[in-house]
Amino acid sequence: MTYLPEHAKAVDTHAEEVSAEIARSWLLVNATKTDTFDAAAASRADQVILDIEDAVDPAAKPTARADVASWLSGGGSAWVRINDRTTDFWSGDVDALKGIPGLRGVMLAKAESGAHVTETFDRLGGSTPVIALIESALGIEEARSIAEARGAFRLAFGSGDYRRDTGTGADDLAMAYPRSRLVVASRIGRLPGPIDGPTVGSSHPVLREQSALAVTLGLTGKLCLDVEQLPVINEVISPTRSDATWARDFLADFESRGRVIRDGSDLPRLGRAQKIDKLAQAFGIRPL
């Protein structure tokens, strides 16, 4: 289902906090810029990720890690993108973050096997959710085992690193395969829809187009690097007002006729209506 941008003024973006299971916008924040943490937490991002991986020079990683742990321990709350399992930084990351109250979960960079996810989950104490960031050809091909791994919470697409690894172009056709692999793997693993990679640049029309394409392919969230992108992402990945109205009307009619199934199309429409209604309520979208 493609969501069209017809409802920009009908969405209360932060009437309530949006849960990570259905979060649309995931704001990546450079962990060396500690002065931006509070502003990011107060922004329109559904979820915030403090980045101690690619955004941080290797020499600065220990300091950035300590600063993130300090902010989380002092009342802050966010996800943290940690270094991948094969690096020397991974062990220090998980040890520093384990048990911190403000840690919502971790995004594991460059996940390439289910074992990477489960080892991270176990080292963090067995209760911290892990978003597997898939950024390579091997990761895409192992997406199902990653999605089914103990501790996996959602999959995310590291589109830039994937293109670098494979030599793939950035056009829609070239990127449809890896995105679809993540969607299918997430469904098999009974995970929420995957999170798309970021759109680089300041063009809102391009961001709107790429966000809509991601929704069409079945992705349900998007990474972003700029707070200016948040309203567009939240709008495009939400149901429209007309979607919400149709869903409410269908569900009301279904109840009024005693929940009787009339034909083979009723069950698919019921499932779609229930999903749209749930999202519309969570995102504060008012029906027409």
Binding residues for substrate, as ranges, are 81, 135
Q: Which residues carry a binding-site annotation? A: 81, 135, 161
CA–CA gap between residue 281 and residue 265 (Å, rounded):
24
Q: Are 277 and 248 in contact (CB under 8 A)?
A: yes
Rounded to whole angstroms, the Cα distance separating 285 from 275 reads 13
Q: Do 27 and 49 form a contact (C-beta atoms < 8 A)?
A: yes
Q: Are 197 and 158 in contact (CB under 8 A)?
A: yes
The separation between CA 232 and the C-alpha centre of its own chain, rounded to angstroms, equals 15
- Nearest-5° angle of CA 154, CA 148, CA 156? 25
Nearest one of 167, 179, 250 to 211, comparing CA atoms:
179
- Binding residues for Mg(2+), as ranges, are 135, 161
Q: CA 34 to CA 211: how far, in whole Å?
A: 29
